[in-house]
Amino acid sequence: MPMPASARPESGASGLSRIIDAAPLVIFLGMLIYIGFNAPNFMSFGTMQLVLNQSVPVVVVCLGLSIVVMAGGDDVVSGGIDLSIPATAVICAGIIAQLVTNTDTPLLLAIALALGAAMFIGIVAGLMVTRLGMTPLLTTLALFVAVVGVTKVVTSSRRINVDDPFIIFLRDGEILGISAGVVITLALVLVFYHFIHRTKWGLNLQAVGGSCEAAEISGLKPGHFLFWAFVIAAFTGFLASFFLLARGSGSSPGTENNLMLEMVLATFLGAAFSPRRVVTLWGAVLGAVLVAALSIGFKTMGVNVFWTGLIKGSLILVVLALAALSSRVKS
Amino acid sequence: MSIFRKTAIAGLLASVVFAGSAFAGEHLSLSGKRIGVAVVGTQHFWDREAFNGAVATVEALGGEVMAVDGGRDNQVHADNHDILLAAGVDAVISILGDGAVEPKFEALQDAGIPVFTVDHPSPFSVNNTTSDNYYMGTTIGRYMADAIGGEGKVAVFNAFEGALRICGIRAGLWKYVLADYPGIEIIQPELAEEFANAPEDARKQTLDLLSQYPEGTLDAIHVGCWDQPAIGIVQALEEAGRTDIVVTALDGGPETLEIMAEDGSPFVANVAQQPNLIGSTSAMNVARYFAGETLLPQTYVDVLPVNGQAEAKAVYAELGYGTLD
């Protein structure tokens, strides 16, 4: 049957957009397969578990960032973004390490104080953005700097070892043969997923972020949701601190920068993998795991350490460029 | 030329000759072996040189290198050991790192992969190759005390005394020497420098310190374990016009030797290490281990004390960094 003339260009465009759509995932999978063939032992259960293990703290803070982006909209400057989460994670880790190791405070009390600090940061961020109307990007960047500063005071900028059995369990323990950290993180992801996608409050939060005006017309208060998104994000920072302590067997200064970089990369890379190019929980989780897989892959392949950063950065730029191109082709 | 200098140079020559003869005489080989080399970062001269020395020697001995870089983040550095474990390398050379690496060393040992450390003594390491940290700590203590006439107030950047054993030795022995100078007072609390962004961080902290201690109330600033913060300290002293305050540090990388060589530099004493030789020696030790030799737990590589401008220029040339005039 001859195709109507008017349909042809459209089908060409959608074919092109389908190819561009699939490109980010194809590139990443292609890279991983290439690494698999060239890196010894990469395609093994041990390495897969290692990838998941190492991505755990990033996955947890990505949950927080995705929720803020969902509530505030995905414009990087004016929308929702929270760069302070890694600083919250680092200060909570610092508080727990300092109190447990250097002052013999019971773990539970140290945890309670860390939680208090995290909630304070979340509330401050939320109020500054929603009540004072400050730009989230700059507000949370400034908070990041301030909180890291306080962390230095708390820990005297020194390394603190932690050998509490609970933290050691998170590091070495296994649940059903899988690393405890990975299992607990998976459970957290499922809880957050349920909360955001299966509860009325979560769906309203997404509606507010999707279209602020439409949400207001239907009686929702965008400020309310964005405020709580910041508080939840700070809570994910608090949760991530346990995995930081476990990973490092204590608190080492200077962890926050890499964590922030990977959190932002993973979350927005995740958007490139989602069909609608929006930040999603699963996208962020996938982004975090893929970034970890890629870094471990390059290291396993023995890529010259002086080049790894450039290769990783370029690859991510290509994926994001394709995502941008795809949106343009569609519109 | 001081007796210490002569001893140090003799030691240097001996170690080079020894290393050379080891290549030729012992027929050491790492052929068919894959050696993981984990370094905490490659931004700083010391780390990079130790890393380059290890990598070049493993390759020269016919081995294959699998290198991982922590980007000056101790947790990333520790995690990198898991990657070496999963890849199943034959041995690991681990350069620097804090307490976070210990469980990783233990896991490697449990998997039958021998660990060789550089500047990180550990119960799980077959051998640790390091500078003579004891000599470094006492020498810099004496030089600093002499430079301020045996009395005065001293501020110290000392973030790692409790976290890294090598820093515990260096800062501890510096204090041990100063205990015999009742006129020298170490300002409390001690300062803690950043690990990743040390020069800029030390610059800011020094400017704060100078505003707290007006002219005539501070005599020296010492960096307890390395030299990167000293770059920022000297910058701050020059900005504030307070170059009467004496600066001392350790490691003696080319950047700080260059600062010492400037006319009227406040940076007066240092102890230079040989990071490339340390990395290379560690790789040689891996080969000796596979050749069935018994290694001592610690291998010490000689250091070169640097007291004043003229010695800075001389050591700079001796270590092959070029010439300073």
CB contact under 8 Å between B64 and A305, yes or no, is: no
Residue of B nearest to A36 (CA): B87
CB contact under 8 Å between B159 and A306, yes or no, is: no
CB contact under 8 Å between A247 and B163, yes or no, is: no
Q: How confident is the model at residue A153 (pLDDT cuts 50, 70, 90)?
A: confident
Q: A259-280 burial string, b = 16+ CB within 10 Å, else e?
A: bbebbbbbbbbbbbbbeebbbb
Contact B297, B230 (CB under 8 A): no
Across B37-46, average pLDDT: 90
CA–CA gap between residue A179 and residue A169 (Å, rounded): 9
Contact A74, A99 (CB under 8 A): no
Q: How confident is the model at residue B26 (pLDDT cuts 50, 70, 90)?
A: low
Judging contacts by C-beta atoms under 8 Å, the chain A residues touching residue B163 are 158-159
CB contact under 8 Å between A50 and B195, yes or no, is: no
Residues forming a β-bridge with B155: B221
CB contact under 8 Å between A252 and B98, yes or no, is: yes
Q: Which amino acid is at A66?
A: S
Contact B152, B186 (CB under 8 A): no
CB contact under 8 Å between A46 and B86, yes or no, is: yes
pLDDT of residue A13: 53
Judging contacts by C-beta atoms under 8 Å, the chain B residues touching residue A250 are 99-100
Quick one: residue B6, left, alpha or beta (phi over 0 = left, psi -120 to 50 = alpha)?
A: alpha
CB contact under 8 Å between B73 and A305, yes or no, is: no
pLDDT of residue A325: 77
pLDDT of residue A324: 74
Sign of CA dihedral A213, A214, A218, A221: negative
Give the distance from residue B1's alpha carbon to the nearest chain A alpha carbon, in angstroms. 39
Lowest average pLDDT, out of A83-92, A308-317, B173-182, goes to A308-317
Position A297 in a domain: no
Q: Which residues, at least 6 apart from A182, have a Cβ–Cβ distance to it below 8 Å? A: A49, A52, A53, A56
In this complex, which of B34, B69, B78 lies closest to A248 when CB atoms are compared?
Answer: B78
Judging contacts by C-beta atoms under 8 Å, the chain A residues touching residue B200 are none
pLDDT of residue A7: 40
Please count the structural domains in chain A: 1
Query: How many other C-beta atoms are found inside a 10 Å radius of the C-beta of residue B310?
Result: 12
Sign of CA dihedral A230, A236, A238, A240: negative
Q: Chain-wide mean pLDDT for chain B? A: 89
Q: How confident is the model at residue A258 (pLDDT cuts 50, 70, 90)?
A: confident
Pairing of strands B246-248, B267-272: parallel
HSE toward the beta carbon, residue B213, CA cutoff 13 A:
20
Residue of A nearest to B70 (CA): A305
CB contact under 8 Å between A46 and B103, yes or no, is: no
CA–CA gap between residue A311 and residue B92 (Å, rounded): 25
pLDDT of residue A275: 74
Question: What is the end-to-end Cα distance of chain B in Å, rounded?
Answer: 18
CA–CA gap between residue B22 and residue B17 (Å, rounded): 8
Position A203 in a domain: yes
Judging contacts by C-beta atoms under 8 Å, the chain A residues touching residue B193 are 157
Domains of chain B from N-terminus onward: 3-130+274-302 (3.40.50.2300), 133-272 (3.40.50.2300)
Q: B187-212 burial string, b = 16+ CB within 10 Å, else e?
A: beebbbbbbbebbebbbebbbebbee
Position A185 in a domain: yes
Q: How confident is the model at residue A278 (pLDDT cuts 50, 70, 90)?
A: confident
CA–CA gap between residue A122 and residue A139 (Å, rounded): 12
Give the distance from residue B132's alpha carbon to the nearest chain A alpha carbon, in angstroms. 24
pLDDT of residue B5: 52
Across B162-176, average pLDDT: 92
- pLDDT for B289 beyond 70: yes
What's chain B's Rg over C-alpha atoms? 20
Position A126 in a domain: yes
- pLDDT for A223 beyond 90: no
Judging contacts by C-beta atoms under 8 Å, the chain A residues touching residue B82 are 50, 53-54
Contact B135, B190 (CB under 8 A): no
Position A151 in a domain: yes
Residue of A nearest to B43 (CA): A306
Position A293 in a domain: no
DSSP one-letter string for A20-79 = HHHHHHHHHHHHHHHHHHHSTT-SSHHHHHHHHHHHHHHHHHHHHHHHHHHHH-S-TTTS
- In terms of residue numbers, what domain contains A239? 57-254
Q: What are the pLDDT digits (tens) for B224-267?
A: 999 999 999 999 999 999 999 999 999 999 999 999 999 999 99
Q: What are the pLDDT digits (tens) for B58-114?
A: 999 999 999 999 888 888 899 999 999 998 899 999 999 988 999 999 999 999 999
Question: What is the end-to-end Cα distance of chain A in Å, rounded?
Answer: 29
CB contact under 8 Å between A249 and B102, yes or no, is: yes
Position A237 in a domain: yes
Residues forming a β-bridge with B301: B131
CA–CA gap between residue A27 and residue A33 (Å, rounded): 10
| Interchain CB contact of B66 with A (< 8 Å) | yes
Position A39 in a domain: no
